[in-house]
C-alpha cells in the first residue's frame, strides 16, 4: 500500500500546536478579498505545507491572471507545495475558468491544486477533495467508485468531526451541520456504529414527519476511514485540527 499524506487544516492561532504533531499543515490564513487580491493574516513562525484559501463570496469576476500570479507567487515565496481553494456552491463559468487558469499556473511551478469535488471537471490536474460521509452503500465502495472515476492519485479525503444531518431520502447527498447542543436537543434515539458506512449514526423524526439520519465520526471511525483511503491508494487526507486535537494520536497511529 502507498503512504497516505495526512494534513492538518488549522487556523493560524492553533498552528504552533498543530506543528508539534509532525504532520503537514494546511494553513487557513488566506482569503480572496477586495480588489480581487489575496490577503493573509499574520503568519505563525512555522513552515506549513499547503496554503488554504477562504473563497467566501468569490465570484471569479476580475483580473484572473493577476490573482493566479499572486497565489502562486506567495506559494513560491513561502515554500508551500500546494494550494487548497475553498470554493463554495456550484461552479460557474467564471469560477471554473479561474480554477483552470490557476491549475495551469500551479502545474508550471510543480504545485498541487486541491479543489472541491464539485469543481473536478474544471481542472484535470487538480486533486479532488472528497467528503468523508456517505449515506448509502458502503464507505469502501464509495471510495472504489471515486477511484474508478478519477484515479486514486487524484483524490484527497476531507474529514470533519461534526454532526451531519441528512433528510431521508437524500438524493443530493448534502447534509447540514448540527451543533452538539442541537444534536442533543433533536436526537434522543440510541446511537449505533455502522461498519459499512464507517461512522456513528442515529435517527429522529422532525415535527413535520420527515425522517432524519445524523452521522458523526469519532476516533474509531476516523481511523477506519484513513485506513480505507490508504488501502485504496488515495493520495492524501485533510483533518480539521481543532476538532481532532484530543484524539489525533488515536486516529493517526499506523499511518505514514
Closest CA to 215 of 157, 245, 173: 173
Q: Which has more pLDDT, 187 or 21?
A: 21
Q: Among 20, 83, 74, which Cα is nearest to 53's?
A: 83
Residue by residue, what is the 3-state secondary structure of the chain?
A: CCCCEEEEEECHHHHHHHHCCCCEEEEEEEEEECCCEEEECCCCCCCCCEEEEECCCCCCCCCHHHHHHHHHHHHHHHCCCEEEEECCCCCCHHHHHHHHHHHHHHHHCCCEEEEEHHHHHHCCCCEEEEECCCCCCCHHHHHHHHHHHHCHHHEEEEECCCEEEEEECCCCCCCEEECHHHHHHHCCCCCEEECCCCEEEEEEECCCCCEEEEEECCHHHHHHHHHHHHHHCCCEEEEEHHHHHHHHHHHHCCCC
Taking the C-alpha atoms of residue 53 and residue 40, their distance in angstroms, rounded to an integer, is 9
Which CATH architecture best describes the domain 5-161+217-252? Alpha-Beta Barrel (3.20)
Phi, psi of 58, rounded to the nearest 5 degrees: -75, 125
Give the model's pLDDT for residue 103: 97
Cell numbers 452521522 correspond to what residue?
A: 215
| CATH, domain range 162-216 | 3.10.50.10
Band (255; pLDDT cuts 50, 70, 90): low
**CA 86, 223, 112, 31: dihedral to nearest 10 degrees?**
20
Instruction: Name the residue among 15, 62, 60, 8 with its Cα closest to residue 35.
Output: 62
Count of all residues that appear for the chain in the document: 256
Is 5-161+217-252's fold the same as 162-216's? no
- Which tens digit of pLDDT belongs to each residue from 199-222? 999 988 888 888 998 999 999 999
Q: For the chain, which residues make up each domain, given as ranges?
A: 5-161+217-252, 162-216
Report pTM.
0.91
What pLDDT digit, counting tens, does each position of 221-244 carry? 999 999 999 999 998 999 999 999
Whether 192 shows a pLDDT value over 80: the answer reads yes
Give 1's pLDDT tier (boundaries 50, 70, 90).
very low
Amino acid at each position: 500500500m502507498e503512504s497516505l499524506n495526512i494534513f492538518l487544516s488549522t487556523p493560524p492561532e492553533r498552528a504552533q500546536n498543530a506543528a508539534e504533531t509532525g504532520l503537514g499543515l494546511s494553513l487557513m490564513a488566506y482569503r480572496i478579498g477586495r480588489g480581487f487580491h489575496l490577503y493573509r493574516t499574520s503568519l505563525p513562525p512555522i513552515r506549513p505545507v499547503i496554503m488554504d484559501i477562504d473563497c467566501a463570496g468569490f465570484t471569479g469576476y476580475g483580473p484572473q491572471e493577476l490573482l493566479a500570479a499572486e497565489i502562486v507567487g506567495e506559494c513560491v515565496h513561502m515554500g508551500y507545495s500546494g494550494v487548497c481553494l475553498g470554493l463554495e456552491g456550484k461552479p460557474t463559468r467564471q469560477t471554473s475558468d479561474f480554477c483552470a487558469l490557476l491549475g495551469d499556473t500551479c502545474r508550471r511551478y510543480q504545485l498541487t491544486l486541491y479543489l472541491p469535488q464539485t469543481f473536478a471537471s474544471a481542472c484535470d490536474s487538480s486533486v479532488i477533495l472528497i467528503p468523508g460521509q456517505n449515506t448509502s452503500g458502503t464507505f469502501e465502495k464509495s471510495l472504489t467508485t471515486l477511484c474508478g472515476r478519477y484515479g486514486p492519485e487524484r483524490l484527497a479525503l476531507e474529514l470533519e468531526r461534526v454532526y451531519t444531518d441528512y433528510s431521508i431520502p437524500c438524493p443530493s447527498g448534502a447534509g447540514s451541520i448540527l451543533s452538539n447542543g442541537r444534536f442533543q436537543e433533536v436526537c434522543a434515539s440510541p446511537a449505533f456504529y455502522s461498519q459499512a458506512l464507517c461512522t456513528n449514526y442515529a435517527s429522529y423524526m422532525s415535527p413535520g414527519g420527515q425522517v432524519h439520519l445524523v452521522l458523526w465520526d469519532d476516533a474509531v471511525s476516523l481511523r477506519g476511514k484513513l485506513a480505507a483511503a490508504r488501502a485504496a491508494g488515495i493520495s492524501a487526507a485533510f483533518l480539521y485540527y481543532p476538532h481532532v486535537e484530543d484524539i489525533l494520536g488515536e486516529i493517526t497511529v499506523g499511518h505514514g
